[in-house]
Every structure is written in C-alpha cells, then in structure tokens.
Amino acid sequence: MNKQELIDAVATGTGESKTSTGEAIDAILEAVVAAVTRGDTAAPNARAVTRRRAQPSPFRQQRP
C-alpha cells in the first residue's frame, strides 16, 4: 500500500476529505519519524513497533 492508497482507504473509512486525511497522515508520519530520530520507540499498537537500529555503514568496508 502506498501513501495515496492509504489516504484513500482512511478517507473512505472516516468520511473525511482526502485533503484533510492526507494532512493528518503527513502529521502522523512526521511525528513518528521525529520520535525515532530522537531514539524513541514508536509503537501505535502492540504489533507495529518502529525503532532505530544501529547498522554498520554500507560505505565502510568490513575487515576480515
């Protein structure tokens, strides 16, 4: 599901306009990204947990 499909589905389910639904979804996504960037965990429900993971840089060569 892409962003437009999400907007369409939520707008249909709530009866709100696609414009206001898109603005609400943008605000939600910005809040989640900001929280994860700070190092917080975003968990809107028990099954959807988003957290930042430490990963080695793809540009850094691994030494044997």
Say which residue the tokens 């414009």 belong to.
19
DSSP track, the chain = --HHHHHHHHHHHH---HHHHHHHHHHHHHHHHHHHHTT--EEEETTEEE-------TTSPPP-
Is there a domain that residue 11 lies in?
A: yes
Is there a domain that residue 60 lies in?
A: no
Is there a domain that residue 62 lies in?
A: no
In Å, how far are 5, 21, 45, 61 from 26, measured between CA atoms? 14, 9, 19, 36
* pLDDT tens, position by position, 11-26: 999 999 999 999 999 9
Is there a domain that residue 36 lies in?
A: yes
Q: State how many domains the chain has.
A: 1
Tokens of 45: 């429900």
What is residue 12's predicted lDDT score, i.e. its pLDDT?
97
Is there a domain that residue 55 lies in?
A: no
Is there a domain that residue 56 lies in?
A: no
Range of the domain at 39: 3-50
pLDDT band at 52 (very low <50, low <70, confident <90, very high): low
